[in-house]
Structure 1
Amino acid sequence: QLYRRLSEVLGLNDETMVLSVFIGKIITNLKYWGRCEPITSKTLQLLNDLSIGYPFSVRKLVKLSAVQFMLNNHTSEHFSFLGINNQSNLTDMRCRTTFYTALGRLLMVDLG
């Protein structure tokens, strides 16, 4: 239902295009809002939900170049919340765990 509504509003007529919009926004949020915990947490929850989704959708998701970017560039150079410093706290660790859990699921798609 969400796909259908986004399809109408954005004029996207393909599930892959809708997934691409989601992933583009996720990457933007994680790159530029990585030190804003409320945004990072909600964004990572969306990524996590997408990685758990229907197997057919997850397979489409893994094929997107933006997802491949995340799988190949999962460092603090690209996503500041992944960095460890003196001010890292439990919330940062939870965010990192959620991020790597979602990436792990996406990596397993091709294996399963």
Structure 2
Amino acid sequence: QLYRRLSEVLGLNDETMVLSVFIGKIITNLKYWGRCEPITSKTLQLLNDLSIGYPFGKGSQILGKREDVRKLVKLSAVQFMLNNHTSEHFSFLGINNQSNLTDMRCRTTFYTALGRLLMVDLG
């Protein structure tokens, strides 16, 4: 339903374009809202869900197969995250005097999702 509605509103008929919108929003949230735990946590949960599989496509169920997630890995925005996973780009990855357990959980979720995407990419 979400895929269909987003396709209608944005005029996107291609699954790859819809995924690009999701990943673009994820990167924006993580870059600019990295110190806002509620936004960061929910954003990372979406990234984590997408790295497992995503319910897109016509008549599809949750797609968790390697070839389906591979579409996600091919996006330039995902490649950006895989190549630039530092606090310079994502502030919540930095360690400072105010780092806490929540920050560590966010880092763990982020790297778990990236690890899954990397494994799909490596085949």
Structures share fold, TM-score greater than 0.5: yes
Higher helix share: 1
1:54 is matched with 54
In the alignment, the residues of structure 2 paired with residue 95 and residue 62 of structure 1 have an alpha-carbon distance, to the nearest angstrom, of 21
- Please report how far the alpha carbon of residue 111 of structure 1 lies from its aligned counterpart in structure 2 after TM superposition: 3.1
In the alignment, the residues of structure 1 paired with residue 32 and residue 69 of structure 2 have an alpha-carbon distance, to the nearest angstrom, of 25
Q: Deviations over 1:24-76 (max 9, x none)?
A: 00000000000000000000000000000059931111000000000000000
* Number of aligned positions between the proteins: 112
Gaps spanning 5+ residues in structure 1: where? Answer: none
In the alignment, the residues of structure 2 paired with residue 75 and residue 96 of structure 1 have an alpha-carbon distance, to the nearest angstrom, of 10
Q: Quote the sequence identity (%).
A: 99
- Please report how far the alpha carbon of residue 2 of structure 1 lies from its aligned counterpart in structure 2 after TM superposition: 1.7
- Please report how far the alpha carbon of residue 108 of structure 1 lies from its aligned counterpart in structure 2 after TM superposition: 0.6
Output the TM-score relative to the length of structure 1: 0.95
In the alignment, the residues of structure 1 paired with residue 45 and residue 55 of structure 2 have an alpha-carbon distance, to the nearest angstrom, of 18
- Please report how far the alpha carbon of residue 4 of structure 1 lies from its aligned counterpart in structure 2 after TM superposition: 1.2
Gaps spanning 5+ residues in structure 2: where? Answer: 57-67
In the alignment, the residues of structure 2 paired with residue 24 and residue 9 of structure 1 have an alpha-carbon distance, to the nearest angstrom, of 17
In the alignment, the residues of structure 1 paired with residue 17 and residue 45 of structure 2 have an alpha-carbon distance, to the nearest angstrom, of 20
Output the TM-score relative to the length of structure 2: 0.87
* Cα distance change on mapping 1:46 and 1:54 into 2, 3 Å: closer
In the alignment, the residues of structure 2 paired with residue 30 and residue 71 of structure 1 have an alpha-carbon distance, to the nearest angstrom, of 14
In the alignment, the residues of structure 2 paired with residue 110 and residue 71 of structure 1 have an alpha-carbon distance, to the nearest angstrom, of 10
